Chains A and B, each alone.
Chain A
């Protein structure tokens, strides 16, 4: 596996600031330049210590990154290309959002990437990313980490576990897998000037940085509880000692062929929920495919003996979840012992399923986020296909889980 050298940034003494630049131009290079210039302008002369780049380019991502790097010189860059970007300005299926971070003294960050992820050894790729992120962090207290992956992985559960093995199982982690939907031919992970497929990239922060997480989906349980009687990783073979597919066939009164035809809609609207003791919400798992033997493949692992329910979501419950996630993130940020001055930036990882469920009301999520954080707080993110965020309940010790269908907000303050 090729070696990717991590870039440790020890920030100069400067003012803490987050600048967001957005362009919805369909031409990649122009959009990248415009967004970067805009973000630099918002930094008002402060030196950027990190650039997060989220884009919805149909093509030309690599050249766009070169254009960004030319304007930012040696600033480390990570991010990804997804179906649509989310910013204060709304949802855009074209263009780019560039979020630049100028750190005060005592804040450190390090970026890294792991490439050529072996589909059977995603756990080790997660470990590799963890090792690279930790490089240079020996005597520095580490705070939290963000990481992104492309759609080459069916599930990010194993990648997350690999990363947790290195960073600690309860280490605060958040991230998402880019969504390849709508118009997009392919997703990429950004690492400095490279747009990489079949890879993951992350950033590890340390020092005086405050953050707060909020993650909710809004789906509610329906029907009687069932038990997973046979499962391997993200494949569920049997539920209540019958082939897993029977549950869906029974609920929707369709045969396997029709189920496969309507799979996308069923996956979005009716995932399964795993009951987690003490958690407000069930842990959702989207149905990805139906195997010949009647097994169901889900996006994310489903432990054997889990109690599961069929879940149902509505536009209202979905939007209420958005409001709750934003409030949780804000509460988390302000309960930090560092007492941040305010929310300086918000990162949003929003499941593409929510976009498809909300349809014409999708923009309401941005409005709710702006209402919660304030209209001028920089807000950037993308539509995802699987999110990672810590669970709330005490019993989970803040451990990050691979989630489906959620909106995950990360509020940052310095």
Chain B
């Protein structure tokens, strides 16, 4: 009984335990199902997130590519701007291609470049720029380009850009250029200056990651256009420079010839001066004797002289005086020109100097009723000069004026300040001198061809002597006149102190 009771209790307990286990299992199963659901959801979310990540990555990659392109273009434009500025200041053909260096090329996104210009004399392409190639490679490239020069010339003639992009259809040609220039992608653009030899520019890279676009072609075309313009400018400048050089050479040659001629003139002039000086010296002694003997004969100490003989002797005496005067003038000119006459410069009162000359010539002035005038300007009363030589200047100039001024005319002397010099004008109311004689009157032995000169004797040395004296003082002399309206001889001298 007790056993039956125990079995019943155990049975019930077992049933209850089983029931509890079933319930627990059921609950756990539910929990597992729930967790499984959550895990599935998580997995799905993770996979969805991963799918979104893929989209993000792909979009990001595209954005990065675009950004790279943009960066490349901006860098390219900056480089182009920098290069353009440099090219604009380059006027030497050889320096133009040196402006494109490794760093510029790198900024443009390429690692190799070459530029060729056609030489019309040798009828072949000449390599002007080589970047990213060894010397041997450059030599091979030049040789091969010249073998295919017709094709490259055709590219230039057609004014078109050729690139690995545009040659996609012509695989063989693309491969040929790639092999030669070790570049894929590459861009070839003609260099087209308006004047002179044309050529082409090629850039490229071997990097498989670099792709080129039409934008790259345009950028390189702009750069090449800049190169062409720079070449054109350089050639124009060279032509202008050459023309200027020719002109300068010609001027130099002419100057040299003139300088030689001037030296020759100087030498001849010196010989002439020396000759005149020597001859004058030699003439002086016999002249003195002739005049001396003629004077002795005229005194009658050596016996009476018949009137005809006296007349002749008086002529000899007068002509001897004239000849002596001429010889003295010549000797003075010669001495002044050779610098043998020392000017004893001191302050000279112009009023006194001119008045003394008017006094000297008072008889002739009075005889011909010629009026005189002297106007001394403010601060122009004194000059710094050799008093004796200045007196000779006034004697010659006033004497000359007297010679050409008709009766009842006027001779006046005016002085005034002209900068740091004193200007003195000697004016007359004579017949005047013609335009072409204004400078010639200062030449030795020149005499103006007019009626008065034909009547009045003169040596033609007076004004030449005056000019030499004025110039020896550091002054200048010139004449101003209109025929029939008198003449003014002006000269300048230094003012004292």
Rounded to whole Å, the gap between the CB of A279 and the closest CB of chain B is 21
Beyond A182-B106, A223-B50, whether A262 also contacts B209 by CB under 8 A is: yes
B58 with A223: CB separation less than 8 A: no
> A78 vs B26: C-alpha distance in the bound complex, in angstroms?
73
A359 with B67: CB separation less than 8 A: yes
> A58 vs B102: C-alpha distance in the bound complex, in angstroms?
11
Query: Contact mask B34-52 → A, CB, 8 Å, 1/0?
Result: 0000000000001101100
Subset of 17 A-B contacts with CB under 8 Å: A58-B102, A93-B103, A183-B106, A223-B53, A224-B47, A224-B50, A250-B54, A251-B57, A251-B58, A261-B209, A265-B65, A269-B61, A270-B57, A312-B57, A359-B68, A359-B71, A360-B71
Residues of B within 8 Å of A261, CB to CB, are: 208-209
Query: Contact mask B184-227 → A, CB, 8 Å, 1/0?
Result: 00000000000000000000000011000000000000000000
The A interface is mostly helix, strand or loop, or mixed, namely mixed
A269 with B75: CB separation less than 8 A: no
Residues from 227 to 276 in A contacting B, C-beta threshold 8 Å: 250-253, 261-262, 264-266, 269-270
Query: In chain A, what residue has the closest Cβ to B51?
Result: A223
A310 interface residue (CB < 8 Å to B): yes
Give chain A's interface residues, CB within 8 Å of chain B. Answer: 58, 93-94, 182-183, 222-224, 250-253, 261-262, 264-266, 269-270, 310, 312, 359-360
Query: In chain A, what residue has the closest Cβ to B64?
Result: A269
Rounded to whole Å, the gap between the CB of B49 and the closest CB of chain A is 6
B106 with A312: CB separation less than 8 A: no
The B interface is mostly helix, strand or loop, or mixed, namely helix
> A94 vs B106: C-alpha distance in the bound complex, in angstroms?
13
Query: In chain A, what residue has the closest Cβ to B54?
Result: A251
Residues of A within 8 Å of B54, CB to CB, are: 223, 250-251, 253
Rounded to whole Å, the gap between the CB of A11 and the closest CB of chain B is 40
Residues of B within 8 Å of A359, CB to CB, are: 67-68, 71
A360 with B74: CB separation less than 8 A: yes
Residue of B47, B49, B57, B74 most packed against chain A (CB within 10 A):
B57
Residue of B64, B65, B102, B106 most packed against chain A (CB within 10 A):
B64
> A262 vs B64: C-alpha distance in the bound complex, in angstroms?
12
Q: How many A-B residue pairs have CB under 8 A?
A: 58
Residues of A within 8 Å of B64, CB to CB, are: 265, 269
Task: Give the interface size bracket for B toward A.
Answer: 20 to 34
Out of A58, A183, A252, which one reaches B58, CB within 8 Å?
Answer: A252
B57 with A310: CB separation less than 8 A: yes
Query: In chain B, what residue has the closest Cβ to A182?
Result: B106
Rounded to whole Å, the gap between the CB of A92 and the closest CB of chain B is 10
> A334 vs B67: C-alpha distance in the bound complex, in angstroms?
40
Given A253-B58, A265-B61, list of 19 further CB < 8 A pairs? A58-B102, A183-B103, A183-B106, A222-B56, A222-B57, A223-B49, A223-B50, A223-B54, A223-B57, A224-B49, A224-B53, A251-B54, A252-B58, A252-B61, A261-B208, A270-B61, A310-B53, A359-B71, A360-B71
Query: Contact mask B263-282 → A, CB, 8 Å, 1/0?
Result: 00000000000000000000
B375 interface residue (CB < 8 Å to A): no
B60 interface residue (CB < 8 Å to A): yes
Residues of A within 8 Å of B57, CB to CB, are: 222-223, 251-252, 270, 310, 312
> A262 vs B54: C-alpha distance in the bound complex, in angstroms?
16
> A261 vs B175: C-alpha distance in the bound complex, in angstroms?
19
> A262 vs B111: C-alpha distance in the bound complex, in angstroms?
19
> A58 vs B131: C-alpha distance in the bound complex, in angstroms?
14
Rounded to whole Å, the gap between the CB of A218 and the closest CB of chain B is 15
Residues of B within 8 Å of A310, CB to CB, are: 53, 57
Residues of B within 8 Å of A182, CB to CB, are: 106
Rounded to whole Å, the gap between the CB of A93 and the closest CB of chain B is 7
Residues of A within 8 Å of B103, CB to CB, are: 93-94, 183
Residues of A within 8 Å of B47, CB to CB, are: 224
Rounded to whole Å, the gap between the CB of A181 and the closest CB of chain B is 11
Out of B50, B58, B111, B209, which one reaches A265, CB within 8 Å?
Answer: B209
Residues of B within 8 Å of A360, CB to CB, are: 71, 74-75
Rounded to whole Å, the gap between the CB of B236 and the closest CB of chain A is 32
Rounded to whole Å, the gap between the CB of B66 and the closest CB of chain A is 12
Query: Contact mask B98-111 → A, CB, 8 Å, 1/0?
Result: 00001100100001
B53 with A222: CB separation less than 8 A: yes
Residues of A within 8 Å of B56, CB to CB, are: 222, 312
Query: Contact mask B54-87 → A, CB, 8 Å, 1/0?
Result: 1011101100110110010011000000000000
Q: Which 9 A-B pairs have the closest CB atoms?
A: A223-B53, A359-B71, A224-B50, A224-B46, A222-B53, A223-B50, A251-B57, A251-B54, A264-B209
Query: In chain A, what residue has the closest Cβ to B208?
Result: A261
Residues from 90 to 127 in B contacting A, C-beta threshold 8 Å: 102-103, 106, 111
Residues of B within 8 Å of A312, CB to CB, are: 56-57, 60
> A289 vs B19: C-alpha distance in the bound complex, in angstroms?
62
> A93 vs B74: C-alpha distance in the bound complex, in angstroms?
19
Query: In chain A, what residue has the closest Cβ to B111?
Result: A183
> A58 vs B64: C-alpha distance in the bound complex, in angstroms?
29
Residues of B within 8 Å of A224, CB to CB, are: 46-47, 49-50, 53
Rounded to whole Å, the gap between the CB of A330 and the closest CB of chain B is 31
Rounded to whole Å, the gap between the CB of A287 and the closest CB of chain B is 13
